[in-house]
Amino acid sequence: MKSTIKLLAIIFAGSLIAVSCKKNDDPAPAPTVYYQQQDQMGRPAVNTVMNASADKNAFNVTPPSAMGAAFQTKFLNNLVALDGALFAANPLYVRYSTNALGMSPTALTTTLATDVLGVSTTGATTLATLTGRTLADDVINIELQFLFFGGTDGSKNPQLTNDNVNANDKPFLAAFPYLAAPF
Amino acid sequence: MKKNKILLTVFAAAALITGGIMYAADHIDAPAVTNTKSDITDLYVFQAQTATNLVFVANTQGLLAPGATAAAKFDENTIIEFNIDNNADNMEDLVIQCKYNASTNSIDVYGPTAPSEKGLRSKLEGSVTASAAVTAYGSAAVIGTGATGIKVFAGPRDDPFYFDFTQFGKILAGTAIGFNNPGTDTFAGTNVMSVVVEVPKSQLNSTGSINVWVETKKKI
């Protein structure tokens, strides 16, 4: 009887160990933490100028590979409307045909609709040649000239292709982190 | 008049947003408003002082007044992610992820590395490759350097963006036919929260050019 109880006790203890070992063999994995897109940007002011307000939120959560199909036609329509309205407001306005980089309205809006910044990894980087964007680039003048046919010397629509704010309010740093200290 | 109205309708709301900032709305909201931390104001990518490196800058939380800058913070639930396309298909082949770590008051950098999945959802990839304590307002810039040569800075900076946005709004509204000379920088005297990451070009798998865009993503 005593040995039977001992045997039962050993079996019972053994089964408890077996149960607890089994539990330790299957720990629950930590759940993966995911992050979901909120905002997005490639080139300066594209969402600003080329999208009506109803399209801005969608633009911010559309992957760039899908942007062309979703937005190029809207951009073209908006550019044509803007060009027409500027002419109606000022008969001296020279209407868009090609821009300083030789792009037709279709070519320009096709480029802009996929909102990515092209960057050279072998040389100079500047928005003027679509090879990057430096802190000192006057991106507004560059983009005004893309849109309003300023040409390389701003001669066509000078009232629209230069906002006459051509430098930052503080000088940039030559060395990392390059941006100026805050005000 | 009708065509001016078309201009106004299409672009008036657009004119309220520039460089990614909700101008009219966010500049009257407190910078501590949560969704502002996801608001990107600008992306810059340029050759570094060392020509074999490339610099990535993401600015957020625009139009910070000097008096509000000391209290501005990064959000631990928001990652700032640079996306890099190597083969001109506009899909990310590499990501550089920047995440605020509240326990160390630092920005931790992950990558450049291939993401596990492409598109609107991300997870942090691999282990931290560089880290820097967030530079406090008024302090000298703190620079972190990782073992692979990546440098990182995170903290408030003068907003490098400059534009006579006010006058542009008048042009779009049809109340002006052009810019003034001289113009007035609408962004003068304002700050942003900035992350600057400098990366050896050798880590970017590039044969000459890349496409880059920046995203903010929030924990779900």
So what's the pLDDT on residue B76?
96
So what's the pLDDT on residue B27?
30
Residue B142 sits at the chain A interface (C-beta within 8 Å): no
Contacts of B103 (CB under 8 A, 6+ apart): none
Residue B199 sits at the chain A interface (C-beta within 8 Å): no
So what's the pLDDT on residue A13?
57
pLDDT tens, per residue, chain B with 220 residues: 444 443 444 444 333 333 333 332 233 222 222 346 788 999 999 999 999 999 999 999 988 999 999 999 999 999 999 999 999 999 999 999 999 999 999 999 999 999 999 999 999 999 999 999 999 999 999 999 999 999 999 999 999 999 999 999 899 888 998 999 999 999 999 999 999 999 999 999 999 999 999 999 999 9
Chain B nearest-CA distance from A19, in A, is 35
So what's the pLDDT on residue A29?
84
Chain A nearest-CA distance from B126, in A, is 13
CB interface of B with A, residues 55-74, below 8 Å:
55, 57, 64, 66, 69
**Contact flag A52-B11 (C-beta cutoff 8 Å):** yes
So what's the pLDDT on residue A56?
86
Give the C-alpha separation, A93 to A170, whole Å.
34
End-to-end Cα spacing for chain A: 89
Counting other chains too, the contacts that B25-31 makes at CB distance below 8 Å and 24 or more residues apart are B26/B62, B26/B63, B27/B63, B30/B68, B31/B61, B31/B64, B31/B68, B31/B71, B31/B72
Q: What is the DSSP string of B130-182?
A: EEEEPPPTTSPPP-EE-TTS-EEEEEEEE------HHHHHHHHHTS-SS--SS
pLDDT tens, per residue, chain A with 183 residues: 566 666 665 665 555 555 555 556 678 888 999 999 999 999 998 887 888 888 888 999 999 999 999 999 999 999 999 889 888 988 888 888 877 778 889 999 999 999 999 999 999 999 988 999 999 999 999 888 888 865 555 578 889 999 999 999 999 999 999 999 999
Strand-strand pairing, B53-64 and B191-200: antiparallel
Contact residues on chain B for A83, CB-CB shorter than 8 A: none
- The dihedral sign for the CA sequence A33, A37, A38, A41: positive
pTM as predicted: 0.85
